[in-house]
Amino acid sequence: MKYAVRYYTKTGNTKRLAEAIAKELGVEALPVSETVNEKVDILFLGNSYYAFDIDPEVKAFVNALDKEKVGKIVNFGSACLLNSTYKKVKAVADKAGIAMDEKEFHCRGEFKGIHKGRPNEEDLQAAVEFVRQYM
């Protein structure tokens, strides 16, 4: 299996998750500004809510993906108040013709002092455990 990890973050929380996931997979975590040039079976895509939606950069990244190069997307992320971005990402992926796995990883993220220290070490370990099911 070949993997890639891409993420979008404004606070650094999702980047921390992406780096833990990428380390477990033996790949590099890269921002969504870096395209997926190689064929991968699974693209782990990290993102979060910003103003009750996923960021336009995430949408543009998914829309620009070559459906011949990406087997499926596995969603992950962190957020302070809202939970899963799955439905938002899936809507974009569906339009782009790219499959999404039904499972995802989500944890709390710190924002303006709320959920201080999150994602913490337990969250990072939970993300690693989540990824192991795909290996």
**pLDDT tens for the chain, residues 1 to 135:** 999 999 999 888 899 999 999 999 999 999 999 999 999 999 999 998 766 778 899 999 999 999 999 999 999 998 756 678 899 999 999 999 999 999 999 987 666 666 676 679 999 999 999 999 999
Say how many domains are in the chain. Answer: 1
pTM of the model: 0.91
Q: CA 29 to CA 51: how far, in whole Å?
A: 25
Q: Is there a contact between 78 and 13 (Cβ–Cβ < 8 Å)?
A: yes
**Pairing verdict, β 3-7 and 29-31:** parallel
Write the Ramachandran bin of 120: left for phi over 0, alpha for psi from -120 to 50, otherwise beta: beta
pLDDT of 109: 62
Q: Is there a contact between 107 and 81 (Cβ–Cβ < 8 Å)?
A: no
- Alpha-carbon Rg of the chain, whole angstroms? 14
Domain around 68: 3-132
Q: Is there a contact between 86 and 116 (Cβ–Cβ < 8 Å)?
A: no
